[in-house]
A and B are shown apart, each in its own frame.
Chain A
Amino acid sequence: SQTIHQWPATLVQPVGSPLSLECTVEGTSNPNLYWYRQAAGRGLQLLFYSVGIGQISSEVPQNLSASRPQDRQFILSSKKLLLSDSGFYLCAWNGQGTGLYEQYFGPGTRLTVT
């Protein structure tokens, strides 16, 4: 069966510090991978998605970046965090041929920028 891992679960970082969040998927190959951000009490905002190694599409201009160095690894980074970067970060995946409507989410990282 497929499993998606995200770490860390919670993170408190000062403004201006760097960020690296990692997501890995097990039990599948060549998945579509997504990074979302969710503000408290709000819906999901798609940040990045990837359909293959080294292929990253950005949906929202911001000070974040994403990379996919391996087939089942997706990394979200920032060189300098802003207060507005606080939120719940979710990684998700779906299979290439599964209709794209069903996404499977990792447990999320709750980021607080102070």
Chain B
Amino acid sequence: GQSLEQPSEVTAVEGAIVQINCTYQTSGFYGLSWYQQHDGGAPTFLSYNALDGLEETGRFSSFLSRSDSYGYLLLQELQMKDSASYFCAVRDLGDSNYQLIWGAGTKLIIKP
């Protein structure tokens, strides 16, 4: 079957660094995406990794290791506004060319 696993909740302190992990098991793999969703809001796209390595976008970075079926989202200099749920999603060219397989999300709690 196809599945993505990520921790349900992570707690960190304002100004610190936090890493949210995602492991996946899919029949095909064409890239790992990360989305942010604030309570009551819609998901917004953060980053995408198709190849191994680290992609940096401001305070956020995303890493992928295809051999380990593993990726992570790294958030630096945490701010209270980063409190949200973070979802990893895999583009899987399985039965459907258009589907993203989603993880259940990680709730990031930031303490002052």
Contact = CB atoms under 8 A, between A and B. Distances in A.
A75 interface: no
B96 interface: yes
A90 B100 CA distance: 14
A102 B100 CA distance: 9
A12 interface: no
B103 A107 contact: no
B1 to A, nearest CB: 14
A32 B91 contact: no
Interface in B40-97: 41-45, 48, 50, 87, 89, 91, 96-97
Interface residues of A, number: 23
B91 A101 contact: yes
Main secondary structure, interface of B, reads: loop
Contacts, number: 59
Contacts of A107: 41-42
A100 B91 contact: yes
Given A43-B102, A43-B105, A57-B96, A99 B31 contact: yes
Interface string A32-74: 1010000001111110010100000101000000000000000
A7 interface: no
Contact of B42 (A57, A59, A106): A106
A99 B48 contact: yes
A108 to B, nearest CB: 5
B99 interface: yes
A49 B87 CA distance: 20
Nearest to B99: A46
B45 A104 contact: yes
Nearest to A44: B102
Which 4 A-B pairs rank lowest in CB-CB distance, beginning with the nearest? A105-B42, A43-B104, A43-B102, A44-B102
